[in-house]
A and B are shown apart, each in its own frame.
Chain A
């Protein structure tokens, strides 16, 4: 049974990938609806999706893909033009595919409704199109001179049909008197016998292929007496009798046997495929979509890398084991250092080297390029710019830059937010841009690059930028600055990240940016990163997001206080000082004078509630967070340390000052200080104190 699950998981993975690549193709078609290669690519993808979803028990998905395939089949045969309506419907359908993957049986009522809406949409596209013959006229000429035409009827008896004591059989028989009828019954809804408690609960429906010399009105008239008790949908398949096609006749017979109804699309598709072909050619036709034009694939990657799919859990296990190895190896080192056995030392060194390489290698496996998110970015920009009637192009560079997969996932919401802002507030409408002498199409550029132990992701736009003066005025009115204070451009821009500022309702007329920028910064901070902003009024804005390469390893300073060890992340570190003449003076605010500056400090021993004797010369570690400088008083500084971060676990999630732990070489546990929280708490406390004093 577990194997079955694995297979389904594999299908789900592959189906997701397929849907994503189809989405990519759609974006290409969005730019150029005439791109033949892309149309074929899309058709092929749909075909594959239809087949595999049917195999793995996703009938709604398969069905839906089938309808779609028909539409794109018409498009690729030049019988239907790929217009904006179809494209938009296609995009919505991509989203719907994802829903169908997650809710295969459409158990959620919202999903059901969505499905009905989507199918209706597809039906209407097909109705409007030339269905079988190019010179076909649709339902619009239904009241013209009747000729013998082929129709599809979908007849559903409403639930209470039988209780009204009506008999449908005579009605259907009279239909037969009009012309040639083929009834394909659909018994899928008819319950199993042990559930068959209500014989009056009608569950049969029919799909009827009718060849008659009549108009739609005439056909409907046949059902006039049961009008209220049925649902009848009529589609004209052709203005002539297509039942001379033996394939269709056989098809109908087969469908009757199966008794699950007959979809007009399958009928149409089969007719398309077979109308000019002989029997032997049918197979060739069926295999054709899979083999054609492999060399000209529109969305083909230039480099074809060989890769294998690995379950995330396996990767996690590998990383976990590697971490344990690193810890064990560090312990080994501690013993070796004290040994005088040279041979042993040599072996230990080898092991250390190998362990280090193994760790680097293992971590690089969980690194994934940013390009995996590219389709999502493109899609978002397209959707928003389309909604706002703006023209925007997204250019990307450096997306082969790799990040830890979990980081990319956490980065995505703030990143999408930045894009949203850029299109929403940054890029102007085409009219305004034209008036400013800018190209009508706005550009958003996303650029990713390595910078030391970090990755920088920069999003720039050539929109209207930020009006610094307006921001400054608002900031002053909100009390962030004094009216006459000398503030730098950076400080003004930084204000946009402050919670109190950006949630202002009038933000849109101030800078056109800033709604939720505090959310972006908070998200980045939680990833041990940061967000900054640069702008030039009238020309554009650039948001820079900085992230560490991985969250599992932290570069920090190892310190000790009251015989306990702590790690302070290097990213916040400013400087370290020894404090030779330290005396605790409780009467004053906790302020030390360092290099002429008044620096507030926090005594780590207070956090530990330890009152044992401190060393004569304690040390002060100066940390900087945003614009605040705070010192942390500790006993000793031990040295720099690259820590493998371990979470403390659910039991400790309420602990504010500690963000994790690491195991040192000798097995001791060092706690990682959450500098962010410590400072925030400190700032809140001092503000409170100030309020109390006032």
Chain B
């Protein structure tokens, strides 16, 4: 199944509710997704953590595509997941 791509400029607290409203299917964790964003802040990080948990439990694929800096940040902060640097 081709993964669904979701693009968000910045993953932060204000984009979250939008995200949740628009992506019900995603929120079931059954469909593989690629989450694309430029940068991320604290509450966005929690969203990411929660999504990772969800996808882990359903076994579906969950990728992140972001800027190198953000990916480093995510990795360094102990969140292990499949990541891809945005071109």
Residues of A within 8 A of B (CB): 161-162, 165-169, 172-173, 176, 181-185, 187, 190-194, 196, 199-200, 202-204, 206, 256-257, 259
Q: Say whether B49 contacts A162, CB under 8 Å.
A: no
B54 contacts the other chain (CB 8 A): yes
Q: Roughly how many angstroms separate A393 CA and B64 CA in the complex, as a whole number?
A: 68
Residue in B13, B27, B40 whose beta carbon sits within 8 Å of that of A199 in the complex: B13
Q: Roughly how many angstroms separate A467 CA and B53 CA in the complex, as a whole number?
A: 73
CB distance from A212 to the nearest CB of B (A): 15
Give 25 A-B contacts (CB < 8 Å), ordered by A residue: A162-B43, A162-B46, A165-B13, A168-B42, A168-B45, A169-B73, A169-B77, A173-B73, A173-B76, A176-B76, A182-B78, A183-B77, A187-B50, A190-B46, A190-B50, A192-B50, A193-B50, A196-B50, A199-B13, A200-B43, A202-B43, A204-B46, A204-B49, A259-B53, A259-B79
Q: A169-B45, A199-B17 known; A191 and B80 CB under 8 Å?
A: no
Q: Roughly how many angstroms separate A183 CA and B53 CA in the complex, as a whole number?
A: 17
Q: A169-B41, A190-B49 known; A162 and B13 CB under 8 Å?
A: yes
List, in ascending order, chain B residues with CB within 8 A of A199's CB.
13, 16-17, 20, 43, 46-47
Q: Roughly how many angstroms separate A259 CA and B78 CA in the complex, as a whole number?
A: 8
Q: Roughly how many angstroms separate A259 CA and B53 CA in the complex, as a whole number?
A: 9
List, in ascending order, chain B residues with CB within 8 A of A204's CB.
45-46, 49
1/0 contact trace for B13-40 toward A, CB 8 Å? 1001100100000010100000000001
Q: Say whether B77 contacts A172, CB under 8 Å.
A: yes
**How many inter-chain residue pairs (CB < 8 Å) link A and B?**
78
List, in ascending order, chain A residues with CB within 8 A of B49's CB.
185, 187, 190, 204, 259
B83 contacts the other chain (CB 8 A): no
Q: How many residues of B contact A (CB 8 A)?
A: 25
For B79, give the chain A residue with the smallest CB separation: A185
For B20, give the chain A residue with the smallest CB separation: A196
B51 contacts the other chain (CB 8 A): yes
CB distance from B16 to the nearest CB of A (A): 4
The 10 closest A-B CB pairs, nearest first, are A183-B78, A185-B78, A167-B42, A162-B43, A199-B16, A167-B41, A193-B27, A168-B42, A193-B54, A187-B49
For A252, give the chain B residue with the smallest CB separation: B78
Most A Cβ at <10 Å: residue of B29, B52, B77, B80: B77
Q: Roughly how many angstroms separate A257 CA and B78 CA in the complex, as a whole number?
A: 8
CB distance from B20 to the nearest CB of A (A): 7
Q: Say whether A169 contacts B42, CB under 8 Å.
A: yes
For B14, give the chain A residue with the smallest CB separation: A199
